[in-house]
Structure 1
Amino acid sequence: MNRNIQYYTRLYCLLPVVLLAITSCSKFLKEEVFTEYDPATFVQTKEGLNSILNAAYNNMEVTSAMRERMYTFNEFPGDIMWEWGGSFENAATLYMTYNWDAQEGFLSGVWQQYYISIRNANSLLDNVDKAASLPEDVKKQYRAEARFIRAADYYFLWQLFGTVPLVTTTDSLSLSPRRATPEEFNEFLVGEFQAAASDLPVTQPLWGKATRGAAWGLLGEYYLNSRQWQQAADVNKQVMDLKIYKLFTGDIKNMFAVANEQNEEVVFTSPALPTLHGNVYMPHAFPPNYPVQSNWLNYGAQFCIYNSWVKTYNANDKRLQWFLFGYTDLKGVVHDLLNPADAGKAVRCFKYVPDPNAISEAHGNDIPVIRYAEVLLNRAEALNEINGPTSEALDLFNAVRRRAGVPDYTMADVPSKEAFRSLVLQERGWEFVAEGKRRMDLIRQGQLIPRALARGAANAKDYKTLFPIPKSETDANPSLEQNPGYN
C-alpha cells in the first residue's frame, strides 16, 4: 500500500460542527444543514471510533512536539547533545543548565498533549461496546490499540514527572484527581501493556500502528527504567521470541533514511511525512550556511553533539558515519566542526538523513521509538543486574557492536557487574545518539546529576531527575501534589 495512503488513514478527524454566522443585521441568517452527526451515536460507529483512535495516536506520537519530547527534555539535560543559536537558545539553555521551573511552558504543553490522547483513548474504551454493528474481533482490536496508546501516554508522562493521576474514563470525571502511588501506577501500567499485547496482532497492515511487539517493547523499557530487572529480561525475551525483528543489515549510514524506515529493526515507530507530522530534526542540525536544497530549511537554532563525546567512539565504528565533521559553506568557506573555534562550533548528527522531498522544516524520516537493538541491550543490561556478567548478556551486547563493526568484548573486559553496567551505558550512548533516550539511561544508572555537574551545570540537583508538575495543573487541582524540591 502507498505510504501516503497508509498514513492519511490515520489523520485526526474532527466532528462536523454547524456554525451560525451573525451579521450586522438584526436577524440571524438561516443555514440549511445537509449533514449532522449526533455525538451520542457518532462514537458508536466505525467512522467515529476511527476518528477517536486516530486522535489518540496523533497526540501520543513523538512527532507531535518532537523538539521538546526528544531533545529539550531528554537529550539536553544529558551528556551528549547541546544547543546554541536562534530564538530557541534561551529555552534550551534552561534545560542544559537545570534552570527550569514549574511555570515553564513546554512542560505544560506536553502534559496537556498526553492527557488529550488519554482522554480520546478513554472515550473509545467507554463507547466501543455500544457499537452493536461491529464484529467482536474488530472491537477487540480497537480496545487493544486504545489501551496501548493510553499505557504509552502514561509511560511517557512517568518518564518526565513520575507517577501522575490515572484517569481511566470519560463517563465520570473528577476535577481533582490525586497522583497514583508508585504501586498503583505500576500495577496499572503493566496490566494495560499486557492486556494490549494479548489482543494486538503481531503485525499490522498500516505502518506505525500498535503491535504485540510494540506493547512488549515499551513494557520492557518501562521495566528496565523502573529497575524491575527480571521482568525486563523476560519481556524483552518475549519480543525476541516473536522472531520477526532483526538488526538492520544495510548501509548503517542510511539506516534512518526515508527509503529504509520500514526495516525489520523497527519495533515501534512514530510516522512522519513532509505534509503531516514532519520530522523537524534536520533543520536544527544543519550548521550555519550549510548548502541545503531549495526545499529545505536551516534554522538558527543549532543542535550539536559534544565533541568530547564523538571522540569516545572507536575509530572503526561505522556509527561515525552518522556525523557531519566538516563542510564547505555557501560562501566557499571550509569548516572543521571538531575545531571549537570554527563558526559551526561542534559536530552534528546526521542520523536522520535529509529527506530529498522535505517541505521546508518538515522531513519524512520516521522516528523509531523502539528498535531491536534496544531490545537486545535491554535484556543484556537486565541479565547483568540480576546475575552479573554472563555469556548470554555479553552475546546480546556484542551483536549490536558487531553490526557497528567494532571488536567484541570478552568476559575479561567485564570482570564485574559494575564494569558491564558502565560499558552498557557507553554503548547505548553510541547506538542511540540523538534518539531521545539519554536522560532515562543516565537516570537509571544514577549518572544524570553527576555528569551534569561534571560538565558545569551547577544547578543540577538530585531532585531534578524529575521535572516539576506544571504550575497550571497544581493551581487548578489542589489534590495534585508537586514533586519534591519544586515550589
Structure 2
Amino acid sequence: MKKYILLCWFILLFTSACNDDLLDTRPETSIPESVAFSTPEKILAQTNNLYKQLQNQSFYGGRFIVFNEQRADQFGQNDGNAATGSAVWNQNVASTNDFVNNVWSVGYTAINASNILISKMNETTVISNDLAKKYIAEAKFIRAFCYFSLIQTYAKPYNQDKNALGLPLRLTPITTSGNNDLARSSVEMVYTQILKDLDEAETDLPVSYATPLLNTSRAKKCTAIALKTRVLLVQNNFDAVITESKKIVSATMPFQYTEGNLTHKLETNFATIFGGSYTGTEAIFSIPFANSSIETPSAQYALAYNYLAQPIIFLAAEGIVSNPAFNSGTDARSTLIGTSSANQKVLKKFNITTAPFRDYVPVIRYAEVLLNYAEAAAYTDDLATSTALLQAVRNRSDASYVFPANDIATKEALITTIQKERDIEFLGEGIRLMDLQRKVQTLPAKKGSIGTAPLVLPTSSNYIWPIPSGEIATNHLMVPNP
C-alpha cells in the first residue's frame, strides 16, 4: 500500500493591514508522502495542518467542549434528539455512539499527523535544523494536547487510579494499513509522555510570532507552559504547578508575562475576550476561524448554536448561574448571561448565531493560569499569594469586589472559593468536567426539558466514556473499559 497522507493545504495569507495573516485553506487532497515534505512551503502546510486537526468540528472547533459541558452539571438539555447529544447529557453513551468514535478518531488522527511530521523533520534536509526543531516542538505540543484531551475522556482520572488502563501510546507514524494493534499504556505512563512532550516543546518553541493572530493560534513557549499548569493541576502536583506558573506570572500585581513583543495578562474588559479580534492579551491559545465558511463548524456543532441560537442546552437555574456574581449587576460577567424565549438562562459568550459560525474557541486563557496557580498556592499553604491571584481575577470583572473574610480565611475555604471562581469564569468553556473528575467527585444529577439525568459516581462505568467500538474492532490488543 502506497504511503499516502491526508494533506490539508493550510497556509497563511498576508492580506490587508486589518486582516493580515488570517488562516485560510485550499482544498484537501491526498498526495504521496515523498512530495508532502519536499519544499519548505509544503512542510509549513503540514505543520499548519496539525492545528486544523484541532479545529475539527468534532473536537475543539466544535462539539468536544459542548460534550464536556453536557456531561458536567451546569446545563440542562432541551433537545432529546440523539444528534444533539442527548445521550451524552443523560450519561448513557455506548461504545458504538458516533460522538464517542469521532472524538477518538479525530484525536488520534492529529496524533498520527504529529508523529509523521516529527519523523520527517528528524531526517529532512529541505529546511534548517533550527526550523525543523521548531516544527517538531509544535507537533509535540499538539500530540500532548490531544493525549491530554483523550486520557481525560476515555480513562480513569489520574487521582483515582494512575495505574489504571489509559490509552494506546502511539509515538511512531502509521502510514500503512494493518498496523493498529497496540495495547493500552497506564494512565500514569500517558501523563508522563504528555509532560515529556510539553517540556521538550517548551525548549524549542519560539517566544512569540510576528502577529497577534499567530501568537494566539500557534504554540509558543508560554503556551506549552500554560498547558503544563493544567496537566499538573489534574495530577495534584501543586509544587510543579507553582514552578511552571512562576515562569509566566509576575511575582506582584499586576500579574502578567512579558517577553520580547509578547504580553499576556488579564483583559481589562471581560467581554472583549469573546468578541472583536479574539487575539487580546488573555488569549494564550485559541482555535481561530478564517473569513471563510470552509472551516467553520456546521450548525449543530457550533458553540453559539448549542448555547444560544437554538439553544440545545441551557443554564441550570440551580447551578453556578445562581451565584451573585451573575446577578449583582456589578460583575461584567453577568452581561454574558441572557434569557431565551422559553425563559431559560442561556450563555452568550459565543454569540455569532447564524452560519458561518466564526466565534474563536478559547482553549487556554491567562485567567486559567492565574487560578491554577492560586489553587496550587492554597494547597501548599501560601494563602497570601493564592488570595492575591484570586482577587485579581475577580477584580478584573468587578473592580470593587472584596471577598468576605470567611471565604478566604482558611485553606479549605479558599480552595472552595477558588473553585467557585473557576465555575463562574470558565462557564461553558469545557473546564467544569475536568475539575469534577480531577477531584474524583460525583457528577451530580441534573434536570432538563427532556427529563432528569442521574448522578454518576466515580466508581460507575459511565464516569468516563467507553472505548470506541471502532478502535476495538481494529485494534486486537485493545481492552475495553470495565
TM-score (norm 2): 0.81
Pair 1:167–1:112, CA change in 2 (3 A): same
Shift of 1:96: 2.0
Mapped pair 1:235 → 2:247: no
Residue 324 of structure 2 aligns to a residue in which SS?
A: coil
Q: Please state how far the C-alpha of 1:4 moved relative to its aligned partner.
A: 5.5
Deviation at 1:283, TM superposition (A): 2.7
The offset of 1:480, in angstroms, is 1.4
Using the alignment, how far apart are the partners of 2:172 and 2:471 within structure 1? 19
Equivalent in 251, 274, 296 of residue 278 of structure 1: 296
What secondary structure is seen at the aligned counterpart in 2 of 1:103?
coil
1:79 is the counterpart of 2:73: yes
Q: Structure 1, residues 73-107: CA drift from partner, whole Å, max 9, x if none? A: x101222123313745x653212221112221101
Q: CA deviation at 1:160?
A: 0.7
* Correspondence for 1:7: 22
| Displacement of 1:390 | 0.8
**TM-score normalised by structure 1 residue count:** 0.80
Contact 2:232 2:238 (8 Å CA) reproduced? yes
| Identity score, percent | 24
Secondary structure at 2:208 match in 1? coil
Q: 1:168 aligns with which of 167, 171, 181?
A: 171
Amino acid at match of 1:69: F
Relative distance call for 1:453 and 1:352 in structure 2 (3 A) is: closer
State the Cα distance separating 1:172 from its structure 2 match: 8.4
Q: What secondary structure sits across from 2:249 in the alignment?
A: helix
| Residue aligned with 1:324, SS | strand
Whichever residue aligns with residue 129 of structure 2, its letter is: E
1:130-165 CA-to-partner distances (Å, cap 9, x unmatched) read: 321311221111111111111111111112113211
Aligned to 1:321: 335
- State yes or no: 1:151 paired with 2:154: no
Aligned to 2:416: 422
Are positions 1:221 and 2:230 aligned together?
yes
Q: Given residue 164 of structure 1, which amino acid in structure 2 is its aligned partner?
A: L
Across the two proteins, how many residue pairs are aligned to each other?
425
Alignment partners' CA distance in 2, 1:458 and 1:129: 50
Query: Unpaired segments of 5 or more residues in structure 1?
Result: 18-37, 287-297, 326-336, 338-342
Give the superposition deviation at 1:5: 5.3
Amino acid in the other structure paired with 1:193? L
Q: Which moved more, 1:308-317 or 1:144-153?
A: 308-317
Does residue 139 of the first structure (1) align with residue 111 of the second (2)?
A: no
Q: Which amino acid aligns with 1:313?
A: P
Please, which of 171, 182, 186 is the counterpart of residue 181 of structure 1?
186
User: 1:363 and 1:91 mapped to 2: Cα distance?
Assistant: 17
| Counterpart residue identity of residue 312, structure 1 | N
Superposition deviation, residue 181 in structure 1 = 1.6
Whether the 8 Å CA contact 1:12–1:51 is kept in 2: the answer is no
- In the alignment, which of 220, 245, 267 is matched to residue 248 of structure 1? 267
Instruction: Tell me: CA distance 1:430–1:459, structure 2 relative to 1, closer, same or farther (3 Å).
Output: closer
The residue aligned with 2:379 is 385
Distance 1:130 1:44 in 2: 12
Equivalent position to 2:346, from 338, 345, 348: 348
Aligned to 1:98: 91
Larger strand fraction of residues: 2
Aligned with residue 367 of structure 1, among 357, 361, 364: 361
Describe the SS at the equivalent of 2:440.
coil
CA gap of 1:362–1:86, structure 2 versus 1, over 3 A, is farther
CA distance in 1, matches of 2:148, 2:419: 21
Amino acid at match of 1:347: K
2:9 alignment partner in structure 1: none
* Mapped contact 1:52–1:123 kept (Cα < 8 A): no
1:469 is matched with which residue?
A: 467
Q: How has the CA–CA distance of structure 1 residues 67 and 104 changed in structure 2, closer, same or farther, with 3 Å as cutoff?
A: same
Aligned to 2:453: 457
Counterpart AA for 1:225 = V
Given that residues 283 and 361 in structure 1 are in contact (C-alpha distance below 8 angstroms), is that contact kept between their aligned partners in structure 2?
Answer: no
Superposition RMSD in Å = 2.6
User: Are the counterparts in 1 of residues 54 and 287 from structure 2 also a CA contact under 8 Å?
Assistant: no
CA contact (8 A) 2:75 2:316 kept: yes
Deviation at 1:12, TM superposition (A): 6.7
Q: Are residues 417 and 474 of structure 1, via their aligned partners in 2, closer, same or farther at CA, if it must alter by over 3 Å?
A: farther
**Is the contact between residue 13 and residue 55 of structure 1 (CA under 8 Å) also seen in structure 2?**
no
3-state SS in 2 of match to 1:261: coil
Return closer, same or farther for 1:454/1:302 CA change in 2, 3 Å cut-off. Answer: closer
Q: Deviations over 1:260-279 (max 9, x none)?
A: 41100111111123524336
Cross-structure match for 1:376: 370
Superposed CA offset, 1:422-448 (max 9, x none) = 211111111111111111012223334
